[in-house]
Amino acid sequence: MRLYDTASRTLRDFTPLTPGHVSMYVCGATVQAAPHVGHIRSGVAFDVLARWLRFSGYEVTLVRNVTDIDDKILAKAETENRPWWAVATHYEREFQNAYAILGCTPPAAEPRATGHITQMITLMQQLIERGHAYSADGDVYFDVRSFAEYGNLSGQRIDDLLPAGDTAGDTRKKDPRDFALWKSAKPGEPSWPTPWGEGRPGWHLECSAMAQAYLGKAFDIHGGGLDLVFPHHENEVAQSKAAGSDFANFWLHNAWVTTSGEKMSKSLGNSLLVTEVVKRVRPIELRWYLASAHYRSNLEFSDAALSEAAVAFSRVENFVQRATDLAGSIDLPAQVVPAFASALNDDLNVPAALAVLQNSVTAGNTALAAKETGAVKSALIEVRAMLDVLGVDPLNVTWTSGANDDSLTEIADALIQARIAARTTAKAEKDFATADAIRDELKNIGVVLEDGADGVRWNVER
């Protein structure tokens, strides 16, 4: 397998540090708003990668952090008039819900920044001892000039860089580009005690500390959105390597979901929230849409493109259903079509893999038309194995459990109401034998009727 490594700007053969095992750290959300489809693309992209690695025989440990303390969360707490931790918990749940709606396998761990202050303090102590960080009135800064590789990940020279954003005008810094590892407490803000005083962590420090806490000083893949390369990931590498870790062997970055060519932002309104989009298409169709582009290509979002993707997926799903009706249920194989495997092994080239999938669907449809059961069954096995790797097998329990499927509840209600109406008519006509037969028929499928003053209610028998 080859993967595009941002740090070396090349496609490199992927070999895990520990044979048979892949460790991955993906930057998760700063939980200060409900996720829109742009936020969730990275979750889907790295879920496809993790699934493919697992299918290829690796044991995969995926860690995705939760940034639960940040300027934006504090600002939101102000506008929502509730504690910062309630804001963070609320939106963390919204993110978890969105990942689940889209069928993303939960990570092995989802560490919160505020739960890892001890590890952050240790890391800062190491950096200060090694001469890569210094404290100034309760703030702690990373000394970018002390680390020769600073700028390598993003391919920039220190002298070309602008001052670090959040502390640009701070005159206590040795260099304007030095960034904050730790920020001293401001009145009314949450803080934690450290040897340098009360304060709260800088965003970059969190990920270095948590990645090492869960995956060790060296791990295989660090992932995140393209906008994180600089400064977030540049600063993560600097902190971790300066403290003596090897850190990530591969850096993978997914491109953006764009609207009118621009990175999707929450200013575009609620219609792009995951929970809203899945009212216009089914969750499995949204996942198909988000996964269908190459992870390093921008995905231009529009309702028209979303509908087209839903139609394309329906065609595949329709084949799966008709083929299953004819050929019966199948066991998923341990292999996929070689061309599909080659496509995914080539830097997770999902568009090329989908072309292979579509060929199998076309062959399967031809076999269906000719009623060649054997050929239908082999196409079905091929197609479902490929869909399963991408997390969009419509017969997988993720999508069929229906526990929260409102449309099925509505259908069941309509059918039962029709039987209740027939029973009411029978009673009005004094045809009590028919009325009782309908009641028994419903009882046999677990539906009990209750006659009340304002009509008949039905319940599922417990």
Which residue number, 245 or 360, has a Cβ lying nearer to Zn ion? 245
User: Cβ of residue 207: shortest distance to Zn ion, in angstroms?
Assistant: 3
Which residue number, 239 or 360, has a Cβ lying nearer to Zn ion? 239
DSSP letter string over 283-326?
HHHHHHHHHHS-TTS-EE--HHHHHHHHHHHHHHHHHHHHHHHH
User: Cβ of residue 41: shortest distance to Zn ion, in angstroms?
Assistant: 16
* Angle, alpha carbons 226-231-233 (nearest 5°): 65
- Give the burial string for 198-235 (b: 16+ CB within 10 Å, else e): ebbbbbbbbbbbbbbbbbeeebbbbbbbeebbebbbbb
User: Cβ of residue 259: shortest distance to Zn ion, in angstroms?
Assistant: 25
Which residue number, 26 or 379, has a Cβ lying nearer to Zn ion? 26
Which residue number, 207 or 221, has a Cβ lying nearer to Zn ion? 207
Burial of 262 (0-12, 13-18, 19+ CB in 10 A): exposed
Residues of this chain that interact with Zn ion (CB under 5 A) are: 27, 207
Smallest CA-to-CA distance from 248 within 213, 290, 218 is with 218
Which residue number, 225 or 364, has a Cβ lying nearer to Zn ion? 225
Which residue number, 27 or 238, has a Cβ lying nearer to Zn ion? 27
Angle, to 10 degrees, between the axis of helix 432-444 and the axis of helix 406-428?
160
User: Cβ of residue 307: shortest distance to Zn ion, in angstroms?
Assistant: 34
- The C-alpha atoms of residue 57 and residue 54 are separated, in whole angstroms, by 5
User: Cβ of residue 282: shortest distance to Zn ion, in angstroms?
Assistant: 31
Task: Please report, as a single letter, which amino acid is at residue 71.
Answer: D
Residues 25/63, Cβ–Cβ less than 8 Å: yes
User: Cβ of residue 22: shortest distance to Zn ion, in angstroms?
Assistant: 19
3-state secondary structure of 253: strand
- The C-alpha atoms of residue 58 and residue 45 are separated, in whole angstroms, by 18
Which residue number, 44 or 207, has a Cβ lying nearer to Zn ion? 207
User: Cβ of residue 256: shortest distance to Zn ion, in angstroms?
Assistant: 17
